[in-house]
Chain A
Amino acid sequence: MRRPECHALLALTLLAGCATTPAPAPERLLEPLARPVARAPEAADHTAAALASASLAGDLTTARELLGQLEAELARERTVFAESAPRGAEILERDSERTALLPLAIDLTNAAADDPRLYRGATRELLRRGDLNPAHRARLEQAADDDPLQLANRRVRDSYESLFAQAFNTVSAPLGRSLLTGYTTAPFEIAMSVAHYLARTLERPAVGVRERQALGHWRGFLERYPDAPEAERVRKRANETRDDLDRMQRDRYVHAAERALEHDQFFLARTHARRARLHAADDAELETLIATIEQRAAEREAEQIAAMAADPDTDLLDWDRLDLLRAVWLESPERLGDRLLRELSRAPESSLNDELEFALATTQAERGAESAAWERLDAVAREEPARSNMARHSAVLVFDPWQNPHQAFERELVRGRERAVSTEVLGHYALGPRYRALPEELAYLIDAPLIARRALSTPIRMLLAPLGGTPKRDHRRGAAIAGYRYLDRFPGGEHSREQIAWLFEYEVDRGNALAALRLADAMPEFDPQERAVLAEQAADQQLQGAVRAGRRDHRAQMLRGVAIDFPDSIAGRDAGQLARREADEATPQRIRLTRGFLRENPRIAGPHGLAIEPVLTDGELRNGELHPRGVTFLGGRILEIALVARSGDQDGEPEIVRTEIGAERLARSVALIEESATLGVQLDSDDELGMDGSRDQYFERARLGLTDEIDPRPTAESTYVYQGMAERYGLVRARDSLLPFDLVLQGSVSNLGLGAFPRWREPDLTPDAFLYR
């Protein structure tokens, strides 16, 4: 082929490609609203209505009679329609849901018995039928399962399964991990695993969360059905579990009280002991413990009082120094300081010298000689309390983090470094061994191999740490708090400059440009160019915070703040523009239905709902297509439709069209959205419907045609998004395996190990488990 022909062909191909770009959106995005076809009620519908009335009126006999009548009528309906084809065939096709009517009527009759236990039995019977609507079946299954005794049994079974899983994994995991070594290390690994299992068993509460849940269900059952035939058996079991639980709680609080008492924390010890009393009335051992706590607290109080008491035989006042005492109150710090120095040099061995030193330190602090004052107090604090009256007072001041924040800063700095090193090397073992219920030596012995392994792998972990991206713990936080406290108390203090410099580095390191900028402004010699860069970073940080703010009024306020605080920065300019755009485009609501959701629920976009022009959802870009973002209710009766832009890029920004829809269209759409979402939850628990009060309120008003009166409060805004299942979970959803165990391939850089083994899955805790801990 000649070269020009090639070019022409290429040009044609490109043009053909261009032809697939979407045409402009159709003029009319919404079709006229279609009236749903009315279905005239058949005899069966009238009978079903009568049955519903009988059930609501509590007339079970009539309801049962009508149920038989309904069954006969439905059978007749099927025969008549089948014989009168093709009309009958059409109706049968149209009314495929008709088969759901009889099971629903049976369910309604069962409900009229007004006995939850009978209802559950009848429901289990009903579930055996093959003609149940899937949503109805799902609801009935839930109702049948909602049996307190069955739920209690399930929790007990879960508890046993959990114990079995732990025992199984105790053997399978070490065996699998010793695969690489040809099982030569298996005995050691299994011995270690068993030791950990036994330690865990000792730590496990006597009555776990699942047993406590079972107890809750048994109690619920007894409250509701105290005279049921199985009540006596359930009561006995509930009492046994409750006694075990009380014993466990009592022991737990007694143990906590004893530990608090060991550390002379009488307040805490008393609180725990009193809580133990709630679980053990007339417990002699506990009462002895409480008496001990009271006695020790009283002894301590007596000691404190005695320490403050003065010896009546001692003449405290040296009448020769009365003039000096007067001067402490009346003289200026300078003159008093000079006088105290003279006094100290005059009688270096005087018994009152520590008082004089203390007073001198106070005058030094008042004159701004901070370090000298603290050194002097430190020296007094080191005196023997028996020899120096002022040693304890000085010690309190020296170690008080509010009085002496600089020393607190130094202390925290050292502590932070120690913590950083120990955590890096030992991980969570830095805080002690895992099993606190065991004697400490034994707990360390069990953990020793793991601690050693962890320590030995430190260099490798440090090398790989930058790749991990896990945020590191901030070990300098304590020092930073003390540093800021120092600046608050002594803004012009001796250490303020070094403190500011340290805090600046700290804030820069943790990426807090806003705080670093504030500190930079307190440094007179700070480079203006560096400041400009820092200001840009600070503005950007504040802008990101503003963008993340959930409520539009908070967001607007924060954006204005960025624009005002950083008018010369790029982020400040962006914030101003964003604030203006948000103000222009603010809408009372932003409830969105994605394209995926609309595709999964075609009734909503269909002719009886929003009535979106069908070509917009046919998947053909050339005739215009709905953007994945879908449609959004903006409040009032305004609907925003997002269309794929002319570029044809479905991931790009959409073309937005806003239109006002009629009250009827809005009301019907809202009804369909709610029903479809509810149906989704009923059919699939993963198809979650999030709770959103503002959304529900808007929908309620929409149903009643009251949306013209707009609620402008930012808190009334909903930004709820209805998404399709494929959008939420992808095309293939991960499902729980049918096998009760997972096959695990485990490799660990820190442990230098590799293994493969089956791990038995422990049953998940139910969502309300947190109320039973």
Chain B
Amino acid sequence: MLGLALATPGCASPREKKQAAILGPTESVLEIVAVLRRHVPDDTYRFPPATDFTGRNVYRASLLRLENIERIHAESLRAGHLDGVIAFSKARALERLRAFDIAVEYYETADERDEQLRAEARASAAACAGFASALVIGPEPGDPFSREAVVREASEAQAVVAAFDTRIALIRDAAREAPDHYQTIARQEIERADVARAKWFESMRYALPNGHVRAVAERQRVINRHAASHRELQHLLALADLYAALAREYVEAVPPESLDFDPPRLRELFDAASQLYQRLAARDGAPEKLEASRKLEAFLAFTLQVDRDRFASP
């Protein structure tokens, strides 16, 4: 009998289990906020953002769940006792998803509705507004399908550097007086600005004098400045890819069978790319390990196409 009684909860159908786990409005909000609150101080610059039990980014999942709860318990939440909490939580999630302008709006709502959150909401709104205004400065190369892509001129190089310097200065300003976790967000945004700058120079390498050297230097700069970032391996991979692209472009432009082909030049590019790929391929636990090892194989296969007498070995 005892055994049967003990077995009963385990035999509950999925329907019964779910029914027993459904929460009321206040409880649901508390559940989501507890998860989000735990991850607010996370250093998402040094470590990858956490995921929830479904495998989604925890900030995105929290935001979506809050929106779901607002729909499901719309009538009960109309009393307004959780308005400030919900708005503030959404803002905390949104700022980690880089939607700083929308986060400002939610912080303003929290400021209006919840006295306890007012000071924190104002400071956070100011920081997010600062980030939002900083991010519009400087080009953002990246989305190849963007309809608003602007054709850039090589003569703008100095202006681009100045724009990114301004952006970074504004980001630092925005984080200066802000709560602690904004230091992490600022470092992430500075990293993004540095990557955007490197990408700009990479996209302009045929237009600028010594453009290829500058592009490599910019990628190297990102690696040097952000060695502590969790994206360090991505930066290394980007540099390796750049060297590999240069090697391919050189072989296409100057066919190895032609008289102008310069084996040492290809060797330099090959060594740089393959050594970086090898370093990355030895890093356990990171997806970049797989990417680098496959790219290394592909790169070695590419060099096999080069005539043996022109490039017999690395």
Contact = CB atoms under 8 A, between A and B. Distances in A.
A532 B48 CA distance: 60
Contact of A270 (B15, B68, B117, B314): B314
Interface residues of A, number: 95
B21 to A, nearest CB: 4
Interface in A169-196: none
B53 A101 contact: no
B33 A249 contact: no
Given A52-B82, A142-B53, A671-B67, A98 B285 contact: no
A111 B22 contact: no
A257 interface: no
Interface stretch (B83-91, B186-194, B197-205, B254-262): B83-91
Nearest to A98: B24
A201 B312 CA distance: 39
Given A50-B116, A278-B279, A668-B71, A55 B79 contact: no
Contacts of B30: 48, 52, 101, 104-105, 107-108
A680 B47 contact: no
Q: Which among B24, B34, B116, B282 has the highest number of chain A CB atoms within 10 Å?
A: B34
Interface stretch (B147-155, B161-169, B286-294): B286-294
Nearest to B303: A267
A39 B37 CA distance: 26
Contacts of A675: 65, 68-69, 72
B79 A41 contact: yes
Contacts of B120: 56-58
B92 interface: yes
B31 A680 contact: no
From A39, A119, A667, residue with most partner B Cβ within 10 Å = A39
A97 interface: yes
Given A53-B114, A108-B33, A134-B21, A667 B53 contact: no
A13 interface: no
Interface in A660-690: 667-668, 670-672, 674-676, 678-684, 687, 689
A95 B85 contact: no
A743 to B, nearest CB: 22
Nearest to A729: B14
Interface in B1-29: 13-15, 17-27, 29
Interface in A105-158: 105, 107-108, 111-112, 114, 116, 119, 133-136, 138-139, 142-143
Contacts of A107: 30, 34
Contact of B17 (A212, A684, A691): A684
Interface size class of B (residues with CB under 8 A): 35 or more
Contacts of A76: none
Interface in B26-61: 26-27, 29-31, 33-35, 37-38, 40-41, 46-47, 53-55
A471 interface: no
Output the residue of A59, A600, A601, A725 with the most chain B CB within 10 A. Answer: A600
A38 B282 CA distance: 58
- The A interface, classified by DSSP as helix, strand, loop or mixed, is helix
Contacts of A270: 313-314
Nearest to A687: B14
A680 B14 contact: yes
Contacts of A136: 31
A703 interface: yes
A113 B274 CA distance: 46
Q: Which of B68, B117, B286, B312 has the most CB of A within 10 A?
A: B68
B284 interface: yes
Contact of B81 (A49, A139, A691, A726): A49
Contacts of A667: 71
A593 to B, nearest CB: 14
Given A50-B116, A278-B278, A683-B17, A55 B33 contact: yes
Interface string B264-295: 00000000001100110010111101100000
A59 B26 CA distance: 20
A267 B38 CA distance: 52
B145 to A, nearest CB: 12
Q: Looking at A52, A134, A671, A703, which has the most chain B CB atoms within 10 Å of its CB?
A: A52
B37 A40 contact: no
B245 interface: no
A55 B21 contact: no
A678 B228 CA distance: 34
A221 B187 CA distance: 22
A178 B289 CA distance: 46
Contacts of A668: 71-72
B38 A135 contact: no
B285 A216 contact: yes
Interface string B114-154: 10110110000000000000000000000000000000000
A397 B55 CA distance: 57
B179 interface: yes
B207 interface: no
A675 B65 CA distance: 7
A681 B78 CA distance: 29
Contacts of A119: 38
Interface in A262-291: 266-267, 270-271, 274-275, 278-279
B300 interface: yes
Contact of A52 (B29, B179, B286): B29
A36 B75 contact: yes
Contacts of B65: 674-675, 678
B286 A101 contact: no
Given A267-B314, A684-B14, A703-B68, A224 B34 contact: no
B53 A674 contact: no
A370 interface: no
A771 B286 contact: yes
18 contacts: A36-B74, A49-B85, A53-B114, A100-B27, A101-B30, A108-B30, A134-B21, A215-B284, A266-B312, A270-B313, A271-B300, A274-B278, A274-B314, A297-B312, A602-B19, A675-B65, A683-B14, A768-B285
Given A55-B34, A603-B22, 11 more contacts: A41-B26, A52-B82, A57-B116, A101-B26, A104-B27, A278-B282, A599-B15, A670-B71, A681-B54, A683-B18, A771-B285
Interface of A: 35-41, 44-46, 48-50, 52-59, 62, 95, 97-98, 100-101, 104-105, 107-108, 111-112, 114, 116, 119, 133-136, 138-139, 142-143, 212-213, 215-216, 223-224, 249, 266-267, 270-271, 274-275, 278-279, 297, 301, 599-603, 608, 667-668, 670-672, 674-676, 678-684, 687, 689, 691, 696, 700, 703, 724-726, 768, 770-772
